[in-house]
Amino acid sequence: MDKERRTLDKAKRYVKRDQAVISASYPRFYPFVMDHGRGSEVWDVDGNRYIDLTSGIAVCSTGHSHPKVVEAIKEQTEKFLHISSDYYHPIWIEFSERLAQIAPFKEPAKIFLANSGTETVEAAIKLARIHSGRQQFIGFYGAFHGRTMGALAITASKQFYRDGFQPLMSGVTHIPFPNVYRPILLPTHPDYGETVVNYLETVVFKHRVPPEDCAAIFVEPILGEGGYVVPPDGFLPALRRLCDKYDILLIVDEIQSGIGRTGKWWATEHWNVEPDIVLSAKGIASGMPLGAMIARESVMDWPMGAHGNTYGGNPIACAAG
């Protein structure tokens, strides 16, 4: 913030008005009321300047109001703002082609576009069930996948997300994420990640969820809200081998870790692991609401009408991406 601190008088007035009309479910901890932003800096309505270390919760991947992004949005707005998914438009196709080119697997990719990360999780739940004919899922303690009802059932980062909303979607079993700093399981392998995968196979699959009933495993390649935990090197490769052994889909949630945040397009690429489905949102469109489910062509085999939305593939959001 500027050395010469200004007041927060205008901000306080906006906060009071906000409290009168906006849902109290949004967690706000500081009276920052944004006026404008440029690059990594933002200004509030009182003229105070800040460095934005949050990037809008990992959303503004190119900074605030990047000139190229702004120009792309302006250019598209002069053409049209929306057309339903009943029809086609070039920018939707072109953006999806670019996503397919960077998909973290060798097989040709198919793309489903949505408005947010949690919507892509919901889409993946439906796709996994209809593709596999199975009903069960595995998730990890500490993981965050969203707060809509299906995604919330797989989320296990904070208990209060679930308070008052039970029962959630059935068929989800959680296991520990391989946190070497705070291990829950007694190590059985030199690589603690392999310990977790061994526990899944020898305990969970034996006593709780038969592998032939498991449609997919949802995993954040780097645990996000649960502590920003990088797993041991053996974890994701072992998880991939287990999925191959039992014909289970490996769904990686790269909503926060993807789109270059770890130095590669996808965090899974650091371990040379190819998922069956990868989920993306947040930084994919530099602040515009957009999410993508990227799946192997052989997996995204659901029929016409199995899933859809009104705003997915919005031309403005695709232009920003």
pLDDT in tens, 136-165: 999 999 999 999 999 999 999 999 999 999
Write the single-letter amino acid at 73: I
Please report which confidence band the pLDDT of residue 226 belongs to, taking 50, 70 and 90 as the band edges. Answer: very high
Which residues in the chain are classed under CATH 3.40.640.10?
A: 72-320
Band of the pLDDT at 188, cuts 50, 70, 90? Answer: confident
**What mean pLDDT comes out for the span 182-197?**
93
Report the pLDDT value the prediction gives residue 25, as an integer from 0 to 100: 94
Q: Which whole number is the average pLDDT over 51-64?
A: 92
Q: Does residue 3 register a pLDDT over 70?
A: no
Decide if 313 contacts 284 (C-beta within 8 A): no
pLDDT score, position 4: 53
Q: Give the residue carrying structure tokens 């973290």.
A: 104
Compute how many other C-beta atoms are within 10 angstroms of the C-beta atom of residue 279: 30
End-to-end Cα separation, the chain, in angstroms:
30
Check whether 37 has a pLDDT greater than 90: yes
pLDDT of 264 > 80? The answer is: yes
Contact 147, 119 (CB under 8 A): no
Q: State in words which class domain 72-320 has.
A: alpha beta
Residue of 202, 152, 151, 146 lying closest to 175 (CA atoms) = 202
- The per-residue pLDDT for range 272-305, each reduced to its tens digit, is 999 999 999 999 999 999 999 999 999 999 999 9
Q: Does the pLDDT at position 204 exceed 70?
A: yes
| pLDDT interval class at 268 (50, 70, 90) | very high
Task: Report pLDDT digits (tens) over 12-31.
Answer: 999 999 999 999 999 888 89
Q: Does 2 score more than 90 pLDDT?
A: no
Per-residue pLDDT, 277: 99
Q: What does the pLDDT look like over 94-129, one tens digit per residue?
A: 999 999 999 999 999 999 999 999 999 999 999 999
